[in-house]
Amino acid sequence: MIAPLTRSAVVSRIEATGVVAVIRLTDAGVGRDVAHALAEGGVIALEVTMTVPRAVELIADLAKTLPDSCIVGAGTVVDQKTAAAVMDAGAQFVVGPVLRQDVIAACRTRDVAVMPGCFSPTEILTAWDAGADIVKVFPATSLGPTFFKDMRGPLPHVKLMPTGGVTKQNAGDWIKAGAVAIGVGTALVDAAAVKERRFDAITASAREFIASVAAARQGARS
């Protein structure tokens, strides 16, 4: 069972491992297998999106069955009602595709980490000032790692995480550009692997992303 953590402790774990798995499934029945496969590969921050059938039930199940080294969150949260439901189910972090300041406030009230989605510098700073723990830059596909490097100049204190367009090939580039973590969807939780129940492939992919982040950080320090 996953142990309760403070907001700051959850953020620390996300930063330490550097990878958040964005889990979008058409069949919630394989959710537990996918989550365990990711955790076995070292990806312990697991974001279940609200597009997954019975997503709230899956979050509750994972919160009860995953080892306490893991942290389970909810993604695609766009309103306070949904935020409350996923937090009641045991979500330890809440991620949104857009900036909703009322969602940030709701999460802060319950000491749950919150990562709103933003695109422009103004949105990013607005989210940070409103209390975001990490700002999810989405869709990062349109911006690229250079955007992160540019943002780090005037706003070095803001914690940024790209989601959308993050692959095994460019994972390290985002970290080198200043991202505190990367959000990875289909490049990590491959739909074909899920359909064919090749959970070992998901574990292998998780290990590759973790290694890419570690190598990029090591390179940045040397």
CATH number at 14 reads: 3.20.20.70
> Side chain identity at 59, as an amino acid letter?
I
User: What angle do the packed helices 121-130 and 101-109 form, to 10 degrees?
Assistant: 30
Question: Does 222 fall in a domain?
Answer: no
DSSP 49: E
Question: Does 62 fall in a domain?
Answer: yes
Domain count, the chain: 1
74 closest CA partner among 167, 89, 64, 65: 89
What domain range is 192 assigned to?
Answer: 7-217
pLDDT tens-place string over residues 92-147: 999 999 999 999 999 999 999 999 999 999 999 999 999 999 999 999 998 999 99
Question: Does 29 fall in a domain?
Answer: yes
pTM of the predicted model as reported, rounded to 2 decimal places: 0.96
Neighbouring C-beta atoms of residue 202, cutoff 10 Å: 24
Question: Does 2 fall in a domain?
Answer: no
Question: Does 140 fall in a domain?
Answer: yes
The pLDDT-based confidence of 222 (bands split at 50, 70, 90) is low
Question: Does 80 fall in a domain?
Answer: yes
The pLDDT of residue 124: 98
Question: Does 1 fall in a domain?
Answer: no
